[in-house]
Amino acid sequence: MRRSKTMEGPVAAAAATTTVMCTVIAIDHSNQLWYRACSLCERTLPESPNSICKFCSHYNIGTLSSFKRLFRVLVSIATDKEVRNVVCFDRAARVLFGCSADEFFDFAKFHPFSALDADKILEGEMFRMTLSKPKSGNAQHLRVASVVPLRSGFQPAIESLRKLYGVRASS
């Protein structure tokens, strides 16, 4: 019997997701943890302050200086087999951070070490992550499709940060 070339090998492998138990080694806080996106369609916007969404501006001329931030966080994880970098987009990153990227941005304005401390807080936490191949061919990292904390007392970074800075402020 001939094997079908379309259903096996690289094609099938590329579509696969894998679920791993892993420990967070580091959050890449040297890069910005978010990107600017159109608040209507969520397409990525350039970083320049007055950029507008080319897609939406066809329909809403003049109304689109509005944008929001969405998380895009590079995370190093260790599984029982390997250490690798994966990228958390907004939905997965919200599990780690416990807030939206805009809320984190506003918090970090008053607490400039928030990203650094979030890295320290999340370091060593264990998660079950489902990893998927990026849809765009030139993306280099697996993306985190879903993330579930394994420690029963897990608190997202923003909770720990509020406590951390609350204690500092009152002492």
Task: Tell whether residue 53 is a contact of Zn ion (CB under 5 A).
Answer: yes
CA distance 117 to 165: 10
- Minimal distance in Å, beta carbon 54 to Zn ion? 8
Task: Tell whether residue 65 is a contact of Zn ion (CB under 5 A).
Answer: no
Task: Tell whether residue 40 is a contact of Zn ion (CB under 5 A).
Answer: yes
CA distance 83 to 24: 10
Task: Tell whether residue 70 is a contact of Zn ion (CB under 5 A).
Answer: no
| Helix runs in 30-171, H state only | 90-97, 101-110, 114-122, 157-170
In the stretch 9-38, what mask flags binding to Zn ion with x, by CB under 5 A? -----------------------------x
Task: Tell whether residue 52 is a contact of Zn ion (CB under 5 A).
Answer: no
Task: Tell whether residue 95 is a contact of Zn ion (CB under 5 A).
Answer: no
| Residues constituting the chain | 171
In the numeric block, which tokens belong to residue 11? 């094609």
Task: Tell whether residue 126 is a contact of Zn ion (CB under 5 A).
Answer: no
User: What is the signed CA dihedral for 135, 85, 87, 69, rounded to 10 degrees?
Assistant: -140
Pick 55 or 91: Cβ nearer Zn ion? 55
